[in-house]
Structure 1
Amino acid sequence: MIHSVWFLAVEAAEEASGGLFDLDATLPLMAVQFVLLAVILNALFYKPLGKAIDERDGYIRSNKVDAAERLAKAEQIAKAYQQELAETRRQSQAVIATAQEEAQKLAAQSMAEAQQEAQAQREQVQRELDEQKHQALTSLEQQVDGLSRQILDKLLSSAS
């Protein structure tokens, strides 16, 4: 069909021998050829190219939407993790504060027990010292009495 149309166009061009603007069958024939060329180009090149461009555009849009959803989900997860981290920090600070209070209570209790034990030992030592002092005084009194008697006996025996 293309060959026959082309052939007709060539014949029409050969028959026409006019001026600058002859309005014979050449103009409509050129218009038909142009439309026919546009239809052929559209069918062979532009539709597949347009289809590929549309598919690519759809792919990009779907990836963009998917990426936006993933980003939103990642931001939500990050926010949840930050909240969980903050809560965990608060809990750990509370546990540390409780442990410090318990340690201070244990230290105070141990200190009080140590002071009581030291006081009890001091009192025990004081009692032992008092007892030893009393024994020493008693022993000294006995020795003084013995020595006094001996001195007295010697004085009396030397005086007699």
Structure 2
Amino acid sequence: KGYTRVLEIGTSTGHSGIWQAWALSKTGGRLVTIEIEEFRHLAAIRNFKAAGLEVFIDARLGDARKLVNELQGPFDLIFIDADKNWTLNYFETLLPKLETGGCFAVHNVTSLGYMKGIREFLEKVRGLDFMRTTIDENASGGISLSFKTKGPS
């Protein structure tokens, strides 16, 4: 079946979103992506349309730190590529909205791993018995992939 409900925080100009939307086009899914900077948001919308994938994308302009509380889950994949010092907050807010079997991914964990938010997130997620985390240091900037194996104990 594959993932069908994906959340991306930090759209930028839409590069990652295009790849996620392409995969979701194969599963009948939908990407919700949030960007705080209007010029990046508008560039992403142009890029989504140019790729022919806009029907699979709900691109939102706003502060994800506020918007995540309003989001309806569950999500199969949550991809964080924004405000690294807020990573732990995103994780704690969104974990109840992550489907069992789903993945919580964070970009730039090795290149920006010195940042407090990244360190706190990795410490927290590695301490949870219902999450399985691996870090791919070969990916540009490093990416952590944390899979939810069951609900919290």
| TM-score category of the 2 structures, normalised to the smaller one | under 0.3
Q: TM-score, normalised by structure 2?
A: 0.15
Question: Larger Cα Rg: Structure 1 or Structure 2?
Answer: 1
Higher-RCO chain (CA-CA 8 Å, sequence separation at least 6): 2
TM-score, normalization by structure 1: 0.14
Of Structure 1 and Structure 2, the greater strand share is in: 2
